[in-house]
């Protein structure tokens, strides 16, 4: 029985993830993860959150975890909704939920497709895996800090390259804090946006005053890797 869980369960979970993702697209459930949907139901959501705070937080985090696990587009609107419903504290809920969802997907992929890929690994794949494993934390932190790479891609690729789970969790948790906080604060201002019938600036993260510091943080994350390579060349 234990052997069955070890070998078959990850494939079963992967199948459920694929079925869930297919259902989301087939039934167009992703349309509910949109600014229009949030705007339409914001009054009811805000009222429910005031009356049932803990229930709302629990449901919100579960929805966020499922969304990230299934790699459903629209996490940005969940983050906005969190800021709208819970204020700046939503950053904590978002970061925890996103990290849990990412970790579930990472574990499933690493124990299914990761094994399959490693058996068919080429010399180039081995070199890439060695590079990634040697400096995994810094590379992952870099990828998480810069909002240019799809979140689901950065969940899957490290799993295929056999990155250690602890490193993946730490880099994910720390790396998504700045971006999550920015969008949570945008969500926190949605009351004013709704009242004035405006549109939130979803590209605010690419404003030079925000994007350049993020680039700076990401480059700082790579400094240990750059120093190690430079030191290696000068030994």
pLDDT tens-digit map of 186-212: 888 887 777 777 777 777 777 787 778
* Residue 136 CA: distances (Å) to CA of 14, 117, 223, 232: 24, 18, 13, 18
Residue 108 near residue 142 (C-beta atoms within 8 A): no
Q: What pLDDT is attached to residue 83?
A: 92
Average pLDDT over residues 218-227: 75
Q: What pLDDT is attached to residue 209?
A: 75
Q: 70 pLDDT exceeds 60?
A: yes
Q: How many domains does the chain have?
A: 1
Q: What pLDDT is attached to residue 56?
A: 95
Residue 179 near residue 95 (C-beta atoms within 8 A): no
Rounded Cα–Cα distance for residues 179 and 114 (Å) = 28
H-state helical runs in the chain = 2-7, 9-26, 35-51, 53-69, 75-86, 90-111, 113-119, 123-134, 136-145, 151-160, 165-175, 177-188, 190-195, 208-233
Name the residue range of residue 150's domain: 2-233
- Read off the pTM: 0.84
């Amino acid at each position: 029985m234990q052997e069955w869980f070890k070998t078959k369960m990850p494939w079963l979970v992967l199948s459920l993830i694929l079925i869930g993702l297919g259902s989301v697209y087939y039934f167009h459930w992703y349309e509910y993860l949109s600014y229009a949907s949030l705007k339409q139901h914001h009054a009811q959501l805000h009222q429910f959150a005031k009356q049932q705070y803990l229930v709302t937080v629990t449901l919100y985090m579960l929805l966020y975890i499922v969304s990230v696990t299934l790699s459903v587009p629209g996490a940005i609107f969940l983050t906005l909704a969190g800021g709208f419903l819970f204020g700046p504290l939503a950053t904590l809920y978002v970061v925890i939920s996103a990290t849990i969802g990412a970790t579930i997907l990472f574990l499933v992929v690493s124990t299914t497709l990761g094994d399959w890929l490693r058996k068919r690994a080429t010399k180039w794949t081995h070199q890439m895996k060695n590079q990634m494993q040697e400096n995994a934390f810094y590379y992952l932190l870099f990828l998480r800090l810069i909002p240019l790479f799809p979140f689901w891609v950065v969940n899957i690729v490290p799993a295929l390259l056999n990155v250690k789970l602890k490193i993946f969790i730490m880099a994910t948790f720390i790396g998504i804090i700045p971006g999550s906080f920015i969008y949570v604060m945008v969500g926190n201002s949605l009351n004013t946006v709704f009242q004035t019938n405006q549109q939130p600036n979803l590209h605010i993260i690419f404003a030079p005053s925000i994007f350049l510091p993020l680039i700076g943080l990401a480059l700082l994350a790579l400094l240990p890797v750059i120093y190690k390579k430079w030191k290696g060349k000068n030994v």
